[in-house]
Amino acid sequence: MITFKKLDQSHHRQVVTMLAETRLPFEDIDLNVHHMIGAYDGERLKGIAALELYGQYALLRSVAVDTREQQKGLGSTLIEEVLKTAKALNLSNLYLLTETAEGFFSKLGFVKTERSEVPTTVMGSREFKYLCPESAICMMRQI
């Protein structure tokens, strides 16, 4: 049975390992700042997703599922949990950048958007400025 919990700095090694295994940026992960949710099966971390908060907006980032657990629906369940958290935090919009998962996020209600449509606070994130290439697809979902 999968349970979800907010991760803190004590989970840093597990998070970095999962991000590295799934080839996602981890250089700036700070679990004291990022609102990171972990999906656990017992003691085993199976998936993660983070919200980087910018007032009423957030950058959805670091969505990763253990490679042995992919294609089993956990990613969708994890995003549903993130959306519940975003509602509880009274966020209005989530933004993300992806190079490989446009189809996955489209199925979950995210729509492609121009970077020029993204609030300047979110555009100032390290992910937008340095970590993701200009070729990454920008997507948005209203909460």
Residue recorded with tokens 């948005």: 140
Give the structural domain span for 63. 2-142
Q: Are 34 and 76 in contact (CB under 8 A)?
A: no
Could you give the C-alpha distances from 119 to 116, 125, 139, in angstroms and in order? 8, 11, 13
The model carries a pTM of 0.91
| Count of domains observed in the chain | 1
Rounded distance, CA 98 to CA 64, Å? Answer: 12
Per-residue confidence (pLDDT) for residue 3, from 0 to 100: 94
Residuewise pLDDT in 10s, the chain (143 residues): 899 999 999 999 999 999 999 888 888 888 888 899 999 999 899 999 999 999 999 999 999 999 888 888 899 999 999 999 999 999 999 999 999 899 999 999 999 999 999 999 999 998 888 778 788 999 999 99
Rounded distance, CA 105 to CA 112, Å? Answer: 9
For residue 75, what is the domain's CATH number?
A: 3.40.630.30
Rounded distance, CA 16 to CA 110, Å? Answer: 26
- In sequence order, the β-bridge partners of residue 65 are 47
